Structure 1
Amino acid sequence: METIIQVTDLRKEFKSHSSRSGLKGAFRDLFTRNYKIVPAVNDISFTVTKGEMVGYIGENGAGKSTSIKMLTGILTPTSGIVTVNGLNPHKEREKFVRSIGVVFGQRSQLWWDIAVQESFRLLKKVYNVPDEDYNAHMNHVIESLDIAPLLDKPVRKLSLGQRMRCELAAALLHNPPLLFLDEPTIGLDVLVKLKIRNFLKEMNEKYGTTVLLTTHDLSDIEALCERVIMLDEGQIIYDGKLAKLRSNWGEGKQIEFQFADFDMAKDQLAPLLGELDAAWTPGDRKNVWIANVRNDEHIISEVIGRVVAAHKITDLKVHEISTEDIIRNIYEEGVMNG
């Protein structure tokens, strides 16, 4: 398979001001400052092949945005090698930007006060897209994203969901082989999210568009990506199939009990699990407790039987462990997996 993104030992360091303590220290800082070097991205390596849709995830401060900025040529790496579409993003900038599409959820590439279609025409000239290619491709994009009624409206008059659909169309105007998406569905309602997800799947199937998706909405990852790259403190702690992540750390079930007794305490429930491979966590209400168990029919039925026999239950639900819970547990436990 053709490699679209090649990252080898990528590192980005920032110089941070370190203040001295006390009045005397503050006075000395006026004349000489102490600095420390802080690595935001710490020698990461990975590859992405043509046609992949990869989820790029991590907590705030994990290094996602910094590494995306290096991949898109906005930041220069401290060390390491980045090759995207066969080009060096920060050294071959003009040629490089024609080969990618970028959507940042918090930033617009459309002109605020002019009609959406005028922004499209300007971008068409920037990217030197021939009329024939533009018409054939953009007619499909406009229809798929249902933005035809929005084309004659200025961007400032669009809702967030309307603007994000137009932003996505603008990013794909030159039909790039690689699309970077940073929080593309932030703040959007469910119907708009579904429309964007379906469109991205269609683009991937029709044109083989490679997608690197950064988001805190893990339902986007589950809907679009088979593979995830997970960062923590500037390092990759997992790179592999989402299904494998779920099978390794998400084999359990959550049994949610709603008790008639609002003062139910954990020490009252703990003896019920005894020798079973299970643990209690509090629910979202005072009288709700969750038993986290292995996906084993015997254990599940045993836990339910013991609890129901010992206490009055007003409601009972059995849940699969969500991807969000799995990833939270990985971060909390500090699991490392190359």
Structure 2
Amino acid sequence: MDDDLSELIEVADLEKTFHVRVRKGRLRRQRREVRAVDGISFRVPRGEMVGYIGPNGAGKSTTIKMLTGILTPSGGRLRVAGIDPARDRTRLARRIGVVFGQRTTLWWDLPLRDSYGLVRRMYRVEKRRFEENLARCVELLELAPLLEVPVRQLSLGQRMRGDIAAALLHDPEVLYLDEPTIGLDVVSKAKVREFLRDLNAERGTTILLTTHDLTDIEQLCSRVMVIDHGRLMYDGPLGGLHEVGESERTLVVDLERELAPIEVEGARTVRVEGPRQWLSFPATASAAPLVARIAEGYPLLDLSLREPDIEEVIARMYAMGRESGERGERGPMGSAGGVRVG
């Protein structure tokens, strides 16, 4: 794999193995190997915003820790901006920003402003550049009233916005976000998402986002990677998840009066309650022809469209992958049940 710096992140056959001791009987313990990351490969071009999702224990955080140099891979090859993170973590640190949602990088007893001053010294950021970056983050993340407040007195949402600003003061080329909206209220989540969209659009910052809140992925990322049991199950556009998981959209139809279940090509009626009926159809299909056929053949009062729940789509994809693995089939990415689209 060549170090093409247009590909900011390059991962090939990456592995991470841990050895743990598990109880075997009352007195004995047995050493067991756990593959947290099992041969994943992907590339992330400069300026792309990618969602990296999966269930607890799938290997997401382990991958991020290898990308930042915190953990050393057990196998495979990894480059970030042409740098091997494990071998040159200090040099890489000047080119990346990291936010772990459940841990802070700020100084607990210091006011937010003083924490930022320490960040400036750590990264040796030129004063004018630091002041410009800080002013921009303060404005967009609405931090002005918080700068003199000790970090320990901030709410979770305030601290998270403070952590994101700290990660950006040295102009990183890539930003890793591990559960950046965990525990935040709706308003705080909206502010963080808007800021990240602006950051990516205006400065071209590459962002790799791991989260359990799939609304983050839907609103921010055009590409999504799904990992399960350390293996990459899917890599492609967000819409492609629906095709892989065979998901369906739902059309809720209100008729003028109670009628027998609607019968139209391309959909099936799954529920009827008085004059209201629910019709399901493939998520990859357009709703317009279906609506036209219903309006032409039935006394239509109103209708609404419900998109599929992505969590259910992913759950179905996991199940399909496990079934393929049990049958010994291998997907196009080289692992059982793996899928790549686009």
Offset from partner CA, 1:163-198 (integer Å, 9 cap, x none): 111110001010100000011011112221111111
Counterpart for residue 70 of structure 2: 74
- Is 1:193 the equivalent of 2:189? yes
- Is 1:337 the equivalent of 2:332? no
Alpha-carbon contact 2:179-2:212 (below 8 Å) kept = yes
Among 99, 102, 111, the residue aligned to 1:106: 102
Alpha-carbon contact 2:266-2:290 (below 8 Å) kept = yes
Q: Distance in 2 between matches of 1:175 and 1:67?
A: 23
Q: Which amino acid aligns with 1:327?
A: I
Among 281, 289, 307, the residue aligned to 1:293: 281
Offset from partner CA, 1:265-306 (integer Å, 9 cap, x none): xxxx9x999x9865859xxxxxx99664335678789999xx
Q: Distance in 1 between matches of 2:224 and 2:111?
A: 37
- Is 1:227 the equivalent of 2:227? no
- Is 1:65 the equivalent of 2:67? no
Q: Structure 1: 5+ residue runs without aligned partners? A: 259-268, 282-287, 309-314
Counterpart for residue 266 of structure 1: none
Offset from partner CA, 1:3-59 (integer Å, 9 cap, x none): 111101100111122432xxxx423x1xxx421212111000101110000000011
Alpha-carbon contact 2:249-2:306 (below 8 Å) kept = yes
Among 10, 14, 21, the residue aligned to 1:10: 14
> After TM superposition, what 4+ stretches of structure 1 lie above 4 angstroms from structure 2?
247-251, 255-258, 275-281, 288-291, 295-304, 315-318
- 1:277/1:110 Cα in 2 relative to 1: closer, same or farther (>3 Å)? same
Deviation (angstroms), 1:137: 1.8
Q: Distance in 1 between matches of 2:102 and 2:120?
A: 23
Q: Which amino acid aligns with 2:339?
A: N
- 1:137/1:298 Cα in 2 relative to 1: closer, same or farther (>3 Å)? closer
Alpha-carbon contact 1:250-1:322 (below 8 Å) kept = no
Q: Distance in 2 between matches of 1:329 and 1:43?
A: 23
- 1:14/1:280 Cα in 2 relative to 1: closer, same or farther (>3 Å)? farther
Q: Which amino acid aligns with 2:338?
A: M
Q: Distance in 2 between matches of 1:203 and 1:166?
A: 15
Deviation (angstroms), 1:83: 0.6
Which of the two has greater helix per residue? 1
Larger of the two Rg values belongs to structure: 1
Aligned-residue Cα RMSD (Å) equals 3.1
Deviation (angstroms), 1:161: 1.1
Q: Distance in 1 between matches of 2:270 and 2:23?
A: 44
Q: Structure 2: 5+ residue runs without aligned partners? A: 255-259, 322-336
Alpha-carbon contact 2:247-2:313 (below 8 Å) kept = no
- 1:47/1:16 Cα in 2 relative to 1: closer, same or farther (>3 Å)? same
The count of residues paired between Structure 1 and Structure 2 equals 308
TM-score by length of 2: 0.80
TM-score by length of 1: 0.81
Counterpart for residue 26 of structure 1: 26
- 1:13/1:248 Cα in 2 relative to 1: closer, same or farther (>3 Å)? closer
